[in-house]
Structure 1
Amino acid sequence: MDSLITAAARALAAGDPLGALNRVALRDDAPALALRGLAMAQLGDLVRAKALVRRAARAFGAKEAVARARCVVAEAEIALVSRDLGWPAKALDAARATLEADGDRVNAAHARYLEVRRLLLIGRLDEAERKLAELDPSPFPPASRAAHELVVAGIAMRRLRAKAAHAALARAGRAARLAGISALTAEVETASLALNAPAARLITSGKERLLLLKEVEALQASKALVVDACRHVVRDPRMAISLARRPVLFALARTLGEAWPKDVSRDALVARAFRAKRADESHRARLRVEVGRLRTMLRGIARVSATKQGFALTPRRAREVVVLARPTDEPHAAVLAFLADGESWSSSALALALGASQRTVQRALDQLAAAAKVQSFGRGRARRWMTPPVPGFTTTLLLPDPVPGD
C-alpha cells in the first residue's frame, strides 16, 4: 500500500474525509475507490458512496478476498445508515468470517456491530444480545469500544434498564473522546438526549404526566396494574398478558384503565373500541362478546365487571391501575417514532422494523405526507422518507417488538 493510500486511510480513521479525498480523489485503483467511497459516506453522499464501494469490490482481484470482505462491510454500513435494512446478512457474515480468518479482528468486530445494530433497529433484542455477548471490546481501539457501548446502551434502553444505559453511554462518551472523532461524539450525545427525553405518558385517575425512561422502569417494577399502550400489554407484579394481536380488546382495556376506579359507559366503550359515532343494538351485542373475551384474557390479574352504566376494571392483586401511553397520541406514532431519528427510511425498511406490511406503512406515510408531517425524495425503489426530530415526541424506546408471523 503506497504512502497516499496510507495517509488517506489514517485521515478517514481520524474522521477527516476531506483530508482523505485530497489524497485519492483523482485515483481509480481499487484501494483508492474504497477510500473515496468511505469518505463520501462520512460526508453524507450515501448514493455515491455505495457506488464507489461496489466498484472497489469488483476492482479487487479474486486473490484479494480480505480487501473485498472489507468492501462488503463498508457497503453494509452504508446500507444501515441509509436505513436499507434488507441487505443480505449472509454476505456480511461471510465477510466477517473472512476477516477473522485473516486476523483482522477490528474489522470483523465492526461487521458484528453492524449486524447487531440492524437487529436492534428491527426489534430482535434477544438475538442482538446473544451476538453482542460474543464480543470482548477491551482489546479494540477507542472507536470500536464506543460503537460497542452504543449498542449496549441501545439494548438497555429498549429493555427499560435506564441505569445500565446511562453507564454504557458514559463509557461510550469517554471512548469517543479518546478516538477524537467528532461524528462519533455527536452520536453519543444524540443517544444521551434520547435517553433523557420523555419516553412515555402516565395516565391515572384522569390525570396525566410525562415519564423519563428511569421512571418507566420504576413503574414496571411497582405493584400497579399497568395497561401498557406502548407495547400493548397488561401486566401486574406477577403476570403479563399480551394483547398485541387483539386491538379491540386492548382498546377496551385501555379505556377501562384510564377511567379506573370509575366505570365506563357502554356507549363510550363502543365509540373507543369500534369507532362508531352512534351505538346501535348490533354494537352493544358485539361489545358484550368482546368484553367476555377480555374478561377471559385478564382473569388472572383483573376482573371486568358489569355496572349499571357499563363496565369497570378491578385489579386482583395490584393496588392501582395506571395506563402507560406514548408521549403523544399522534396518528401513526410508531412510523413517526422511527422517522424522528433524522435518517431517511424506505417504506420497506419501516415495514421490516414495525413488523407490518409494506402497503400498510405506505398508506400511513401517504397520510402523514398529506398532513405535511413527513417528506420524501427519490422515486421508485430509491424513494426515502424522513422528518426532522420532533422535540418531546415519542421515541422508539418503548415500541413493541414485531410479533412473529406478522
Structure 2
Amino acid sequence: MDALIAAAARALATGDILGALKRVALRGDAPALALRGIAMAQLGDFPRAKALLKSAARAFGPREAVARARCIVAEAEIALVSRDLGWPEASLAAAGATLAARGDRVNATHALHLEARRLLLLGQLDEAEHKLGTLPSAPLPPALGAAHELIRAGIAMRRLQAKAARASLARAGLAARESGIAALAAEVESASAMLDAPAARLVAGGTERLLGIEDVETVLASDALVVDATRNVVRRDETIVPLATRPVLFALARTLAEASPGDVARDVLLARAFGARHADESHRARLRVEIGRLRAMLRPLAGISATESGFVLKPRRTREVLVLAPPVDERHAAVLALLADGEAWSSSALAIALGTSPRTVQRALEELAAAGKAQAFGNGRARRWITPPVPGFPTILLLPGPLPGS
C-alpha cells in the first residue's frame, strides 16, 4: 500500500473525510476507489458510494479476497444506512466469514454488527441478541465497542428495559470518547436523548401525564389492566391480547378503558369506533356484534357488561385500568401503531389491517414520511414501510478496521 492510500485510510479512520478525498480524488486504482466510496458514503451520497465500491470490488484481483470482502461489507452498510433492506444477507455473511478466516477480526466483527442492526431494524430482537452473542469475547477497538453497545441499547429500548439501555449507552459513550470520533460521540448523545424523551402518555381517572421509558416499564410490570395504544394491545402481566389488526375492537377497548370505572354511552362508542355522527339501527346492531367480539377476546382479562346507557369494562383480579397512549396525538396513529411492531409493512397490508382503501393508507404514509415518522425501502410491489430505527445508525462506522487495499 502506497503512502497516499495509507494516509487516506488513516484520515477516514479518524473522521477526516475531506482529508481522505484530497489524497485519492484523482486516482482510479482499486484501493482509491474503495476509499472514495467510503468517504462519499460518510458524506451521505449513497448512490455514488455504492457505484464506487462496486467498481473497487471488480478492480481487486483474484488474490485480493480480503479487499473485495471489505468492499462488500461497506456496500452492505451503505444499503442498511439508506434503508435498502433488500441486499443479500448471504453475501454479507460470506464476506464476514472470509474476513474472519483471513485474520481481519475487526471488519469480521463489523459485518456481524451489520447483521444484528438489520435484525434490530426489523424488530427481530431475539435474533439480533443471538447474533451479538456469537461474537468473540475479546476486547473490541473503541469505535467498534461503541457500535456494539449502541446495538445492545437499541434492543433494550425496544424491550422497554431502561436500566439495561442506560448501562449500554454509558459504555458506548466511554468508548466513543476514547475513539476520538466526534460523530460517534454525537450518535451516542442522540440515543441517550431518545431514551430521556417522553415515551407515552398515561390516561387514568380522567387525567393525563407524560411518562418516560422507566415509568412505562413500571406500568407494564404492575397488576393493572393496561390498554396500550402505542402497540394496540390489551395486557396484564404476561397475558397479552393483540388488537393491532382489529382497529374497531381496539377503539372500543380504549374508549371503555378511558372511562373506567364508569360506563360509555352507545353514541360515544359509535362515534369513536365507526365515526358515526348520526347512528341508526344498523350502526347499533354492528356495535352489538363488535362488543361481542371484543368481549370474547378480552375474556381472560376483563368482562364487558351492558348498562342502561351503554357498556362498562370490568377488569378481572384488579381494579385499576390504565391507558398508555402515544406522547402526542397523531392524525395517523393507527398506521403508526401497526408500524411500531418493528416489522416491514406493505401499504396494501396496512390497508387490509385498517379496513380502509390502499390510497388512503398511501397518503398517510407519504405524510408520515415527510414528517420523518416513517421510512420506505424497495420499489413497486416490493416497497415496504418501517418506523425510524432505535437508536440511529452511526454512518461514521463504515469499516472501522483496516480499509480496502490496506
- Segments of 5+ residues of structure 2 without an aligned counterpart are 351-357, 392-406
TM-score (normalizing by structure 2) = 0.85
CA distance in 1 between counterparts of 2:3 and 2:160 reads 48
Shift of 1:92: 0.9
- Segments of 5+ residues of structure 1 without an aligned counterpart are 339-349, 387-393, 399-406
The residue that corresponds to 1:87 in the other structure is 87
Shift of 1:242: 1.6
The residue that corresponds to 2:131 in the other structure is 131
| Deviation by residue 1:40-83 (Cα, 9 ceiling, x = unmatched) | 11122222111111111111123322111111110111111112
Are residues 111 and 245 of structure 1, via their aligned partners in 2, closer, same or farther at CA, if it must alter by over 3 Å? same
SS at match of 1:214: helix
Are residues 49 and 395 of structure 1, via their aligned partners in 2, closer, same or farther at CA, if it must alter by over 3 Å? closer
Are residues 160 and 305 of structure 1, via their aligned partners in 2, closer, same or farther at CA, if it must alter by over 3 Å? same
| Amino acid paired to 1:148 | H
User: Which one has more relative contact order, counting CA pairs under 8 Å at least 6 apart?
Assistant: 2
More divergent stretch after superposition (242-251 vs 288-297):
242-251
| Amino acid paired to 1:88 | P
CA distance in 2 between counterparts of 1:265 and 1:337 reads 26
The residue that corresponds to 1:357 in the other structure is 346
| Amino acid paired to 1:357 | S
Are residues 318 and 286 of structure 1, via their aligned partners in 2, closer, same or farther at CA, if it must alter by over 3 Å? same
SS at match of 1:304: strand
Shift of 1:188: 0.4
Are residues 33 and 108 of structure 1, via their aligned partners in 2, closer, same or farther at CA, if it must alter by over 3 Å? same
Matches within 5 A, 1:72-111: 72-111=72-111
CA distance in 2 between counterparts of 1:106 and 1:279 reads 65
The residue that corresponds to 1:2 in the other structure is 2
Question: 8 Å contact 2:229–2:254 — kept in the other structure?
Answer: yes
Are residues 334 and 116 of structure 1, via their aligned partners in 2, closer, same or farther at CA, if it must alter by over 3 Å? farther
CA distance in 1 between counterparts of 2:4 and 2:200 reads 51
CA distance in 1 between counterparts of 2:390 and 2:337 reads 9
Question: 8 Å contact 1:224–1:319 — kept in the other structure?
Answer: yes
Are residues 224 and 385 of structure 1, via their aligned partners in 2, closer, same or farther at CA, if it must alter by over 3 Å? closer
Question: 8 Å contact 2:347–2:362 — kept in the other structure?
Answer: no
| Deviation by residue 1:321-346 (Cα, 9 ceiling, x = unmatched) | 010111122123487799xxxxxxxx
CA distance in 2 between counterparts of 1:366 and 1:110 reads 38
| Deviation by residue 1:148-169 (Cα, 9 ceiling, x = unmatched) | 0000000000000001000100
The residue that corresponds to 1:218 in the other structure is 218
Matches within 5 A, 1:369-380: 373-374=370-371
The residue that corresponds to 2:355 in the other structure is none
Matches within 5 A, 1:387-406: none
| Amino acid paired to 1:9 | A
The residue that corresponds to 1:301 in the other structure is 301
Are residues 372 and 234 of structure 1, via their aligned partners in 2, closer, same or farther at CA, if it must alter by over 3 Å? closer
| Deviation by residue 1:357-387 (Cα, 9 ceiling, x = unmatched) | 14558854634657995499xxx959x999x
| Amino acid paired to 2:121 | L
Question: 8 Å contact 1:137–1:144 — kept in the other structure?
Answer: no
CA distance in 2 between counterparts of 1:250 and 1:21 reads 54
CA distance in 2 between counterparts of 1:128 and 1:157 reads 13
Are residues 174 and 374 of structure 1, via their aligned partners in 2, closer, same or farther at CA, if it must alter by over 3 Å? same
4+ runs deviating over 6 angstroms = 334-338, 394-398
Q: Does 1:240 align with 2:245?
A: no
Shift of 1:142: 0.4
SS at match of 1:152: helix
Question: 8 Å contact 1:4–1:23 — kept in the other structure?
Answer: yes
Give the root-mean-square deviation of aligned CA atoms.
Answer: 2.9
TM-score (normalizing by structure 1) = 0.85
Question: 8 Å contact 1:194–1:395 — kept in the other structure?
Answer: no
CA distance in 2 between counterparts of 1:70 and 1:119 reads 21
CA distance in 2 between counterparts of 1:73 and 1:123 reads 22
Question: 8 Å contact 1:337–1:395 — kept in the other structure?
Answer: no
Q: State the percentage of identical aligned residues.
A: 66
Shift of 1:135: 1.8
More divergent stretch after superposition (101-110 vs 142-151):
101-110
SS at match of 1:278: coil
Are residues 104 and 45 of structure 1, via their aligned partners in 2, closer, same or farther at CA, if it must alter by over 3 Å? same
SS at match of 2:226: strand
